[in-house]
């Protein structure tokens, strides 16, 4: 295999109570819901189907990410603080409609986040993550387990877009994105892959 045959896999954590209600969850260390645990287990089956080559695994330090990695069957997980979610500052725990009552038209991609991170700070973290994994991609696949907004920033930066273009890459809980190369150009090979969970038995 050549260096450009290896892939960068992003896995968002499974559902939490706050992700289900669309509350911004940055520093708050909230656990998975029972459904989130099922999602993480199902994501493990998808990962197995990708036939990963000697994967190197990094996770956000938040329990919703580390537990997702564990349930997905990932081993040898290294904690990378740079994979933590966007710091929402004063908007932690609020939904976008709630924030827009105070700041009309606000989005995480275009607005100001008081006492939180701005797009430039998040870009610096994302670029640092990508720079650290590039040498590893010469020899193996890499898996990053993290969060919704920050993973979308990673996708945008991998594709050499501005941070704001992360808004184009909606990402479900426990979803997988596969990044790689096409004729040596960085590309998105697959996005927002999720497993179909079995419904209740009748």
Candidate list 13, 24, 147, 149, residue with the active-site label: 13
Active site residue 85: yes
Distances, alpha carbon 68 to alpha carbons 4, 20, 103, 164, 193, in Å: 28, 16, 33, 27, 15
Active site residue 13: yes
CA distance 89 to 87: 6
Candidate list 85, 117, 147, 149, residue with the active-site label: 85
Burial class (CB in 10 A: 0-12, 13-18, 19+), 112: exposed
Distances, alpha carbon 160 to alpha carbons 106, 154, 155, 164, in Å: 24, 10, 9, 11
Residue numbers annotated as active site: 13, 85
């Amino acid at each position: 295999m050549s260096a450009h045959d290896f892939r960068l896999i992003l896995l968002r954590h499974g559902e939490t109570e706050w992700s289900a209600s669309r509350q911004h969850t940055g520093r708050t260390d909230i656990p998975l819901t029972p459904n989130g645990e099922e999602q993480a287990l199902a994501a493990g089956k998808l990962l197995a189907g990708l036939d990963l080559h000697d994967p190197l695994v990094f996770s956000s330090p938040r329990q919703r990410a580390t537990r997702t990695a564990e349930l997905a069957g990932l081993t040898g997980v290294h904690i990378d603080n740079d994979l933590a979610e966007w710091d929402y500052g004063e908007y932690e725990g609020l939904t976008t409609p709630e924030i827009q009552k105070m700041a009309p038209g606000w989005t995480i991609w275009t607005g100001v986040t008081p006492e939180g991170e701005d797009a430039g700070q998040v870009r610096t973290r994302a670029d640092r993550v990508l720079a650290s994994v590039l040498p590893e991609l010469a020899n193996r696949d890499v898996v990053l387990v993290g969060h919704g907004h920050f993973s979308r920033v990673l996708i945008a930066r991998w594709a050499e877009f501005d941070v704001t273009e992360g808004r184009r890459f909606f990402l479900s809980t426990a979803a997988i994105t596969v990044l790689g190369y096409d004729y040596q150009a960085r590309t998105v090979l697959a996005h927002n892959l999720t497993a179909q969970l079995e419904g209740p038995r009748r």
